[in-house]
Structure 1
């Protein structure tokens, strides 16, 4: 069998099972585990999957630049944002990260809702400038240009000063075993600081991001209080997250 044929089978199997193992692929393709390991490394180098110990999982789908993400899965993100509004009450302190779903929530905030919003997102801070009853605290730092957020040690230290009621966390990838991960090291560091500064962490994720992984670790999956998706909460595929004590919405 040609290498390219093995690649197609590996990717097809990954799409079906959401995780593949060296031993299973070795048996399926009748080649050694070392050959499968090299195949997975080459596919990972091409950005087609994420190599993990003993096998591989999918990468998170979709673009990484903020402008491109604004248009990607917008209908699904609208659903997520409307669900998230139900968690916001007067006089809460809420952390908004720089995700496009969080930005949609900021756009939808009722005009009479009183909040203190803490964010490192330039677009969200700009949107809330006109909201009469929302106080905005902005985290300074170095600009991450493809996400329009601040990052770096100053940003991390800023978030450590707070004990917020809720963190609205845009998610790139969630995997029950590998945790919450992201594609950028310093942005993942900031997300980790935001989680540590919050009583409740609400993850905002389209369903295609579940069961995927990126390179940089943020937190264990069971550190999330709630995962809001674009699908009904009683979806059978969500049981694995319910078993971790996470409320699916």
Structure 2
């Protein structure tokens, strides 16, 4: 089998399984592990997968631009929002990032909820404006048109001035070994800062983001307290996350 055909087969295999080991691919394709490692490195360099120790994981299938993400997988976002909502209580200070799943949670807020929301997301700010009992504190900075959020050093410094009771993260990718990762550098840095300045971290993730990885590191799994998904907690794909100590909903 030629290299091009072999690498195409690797990508097809990974699209079905989401993660794969070098040993599995070596046996599946009847080639050496060294050959597989070289293939995985080339494919990783092209951004088609993420090479990890002993194998590879798929990149997140989520669209990059906010306008495409806001209409993507709406029903599952609603499921995730309803699972996460009970964690929000009157009197809390809450960091909310610019993820569209986070936005779905804000859209489900009861009208009488009394919390303080601190965010860098323009869409989140617009929704909070209609909720009379929620105080909004908005992070200034350079606008990122891909995510409709503010970014840069001004935004990073802003979040260091607060300590939140809860941090709500609409994540790009999560992997039980590689942790939380992101597609955009600035957005990943903001998420990292939110985590560092929060007492309790809730990660919102559809099942298609689980066991995927992106370029920019956000945090290790141990920093997350709760992982909220659209699938049953008993699903086999969530087992490694429970073993890491996360509460999985």
TM-score bin, normalised by smaller chain: over 0.9
1:1-249 alignment to 2 at 5 Å?
1-249=1-249
Distance change (3 Å), C-alpha of 1:168 and 1:52: same
* CA distance in structure 2 between the aligned counterparts of 1:35 and 1:245, rounded to whole angstroms: 36
Question: How many Å apart are 1:57 and its aligned residue?
Answer: 1.1
Aligned length: 249
Give the deviation of 1:178 after TM superposition: 0.6
Contiguous gaps of at least 5 residues in structure 2: none
Instruction: Give the secondary structure class of the aligned counterpart of 1:72.
Output: coil
C-alpha separation in 2, matches of 1:136 and 1:39: 49
Secondary structure, in 3 states, of the residue corresponding to 2:238?
Answer: helix
Quote the offset at 1:137 in angstroms. Answer: 0.3
Cα deviation, 1:46-89, whole Å, max 9, x if unaligned, reads 43211234432110112011010011111100111111111111
Question: Which piece of structure 1 moves more, 226-235 or 22-31?
Answer: 22-31
Moved over 6 A (4+): none
2:62–2:172 Cα contact (<8 Å) kept:
no
Q: Partners of 1:221 and 1:12 in 2: how far apart?
A: 28
Deviation at 1:224, TM superposition (A): 0.5
Q: Give RMSD over aligned pairs.
A: 1.8
